[in-house]
Amino acid sequence: MDKIEQRKIKENIGIRVKDSHKGTYGKVLLVAGSKGMAGAACLAGLGACRTGAGLVTFAVPEPLFPIVQTYLPEGICISRKPGKIDYDQYDSVILGPGIGVRHENAVLIQEILKEYHGALLLDADGLNSIVRFNLYQDILDSSAKIIMTPHPGEAKRLMGTETIISREECVVSISKTFNATVVLKGAGTLIAITDKDNVVSIIKNENGNPGMATAGSGDVLAGIIGAYMAMGLPPFDAAITGVYVHGAAGDLAAQELGENGMIASDICKYVPYAIKNIIEKQ
């Protein structure tokens, strides 16, 4: 199995050009958050901003607007009522962190899968809703370029199994089933992609540390990957770059703070430093 190489990540990140503007680095739409779960939206949005996305827009319930805009004044808030959003004006859509598993979400997810044609990341309750409301065919029918980011529990639900005997077989199975790029999170995160001949390639990430096993870490990862999707990286490259940067930021946080007391926002704090280190390393 191949491993993510820093040389490839440096190439994917690239160097910013002098005459660029915020539009150069992509517009991210973050469909996230619900009552009691504003933090998931905030952390994903901060992750996307710290990675370098040009503009982050939050599609959240309107009562969350003050929370989100206080936490991240650089973001924009819009209502996420079905039928009200022009999805294709965004370069990437992150769907799922903290949205809950409610019937109205099924309608929203179906709408996005049908109408959006860009880079779509399905995470957390976006994945749980796929299972709960049997939206498997909607994913297969979608023209979006999809990345799925399950943790082991979500992976088991997606595959309808109680145990994961082999992480490699699991990530391959999900990628083939949904014809998507899949990030199976956990120690030694695995990223898989299925090509047009139904052949799956897997790559493993080896940075990161146990301090990253904390609430919100996955939300931050979703934001980081979503930012690279918005910047124009193909799904597999966006996934491996996001996973590597996330792990590198976590390692910097652990060096400074130790593993025991790290929280997800600490990972966000160190994302710019991680990117800087990668770019500057010879």
Q: What is the pLDDT of residues 135-194, one digit of tens each?
A: 999 999 999 999 999 999 999 999 999 999 999 999 999 999 999 999 999 999 999 999
- Describe the strand order of the beta sheet including 190-194 as a list of residue ranges: 2-3, 200-204, 190-194, 181-184, 145-149, 119-123, 92-95, 27-31, 55-59, 76-78
Residue 282: is its pLDDT beyond 70?
no
Rounded CA gap, 26 and 3, in Å? 28
Is residue 175 within 8 A of residue 181, CB to CB? The reply is: yes
Q: Report all structural domains of the chain as residue ranges with CATH numbers, in order of start.
A: 2-10+22-192+203-280 (3.40.1190.20)
Per-residue confidence (pLDDT) for residue 281, from 0 to 100 = 84
- What integer is the mean pLDDT of 182-209? 96
Q: Is 22 helix (H, G, I), strand (E, B) or coil?
A: helix
Give, in order, the Cα–Cα distances in Å from 50 to each of 30, 83, 206, 224, 259.
15, 30, 22, 8, 21
Distance between the two ends of the chain, CA-based, in angstroms?
25
Q: For residue 95, which of 66, 152, 138 has the smallest C-alpha distance?
A: 138
In terms of pTM, does the model score above 0.85? yes
* pLDDT tens digits along 40-99: 999 999 999 999 999 999 999 999 999 999 999 999 999 998 899 999 999 999 999 999
SS3 content of the chain, % helix, strand, coil (to 5): 50, 15, 35
Instruction: Give, for 236, the enclosing helix (H) or strand (E).
Output: helix 235-257
pLDDT value of position 37: 97
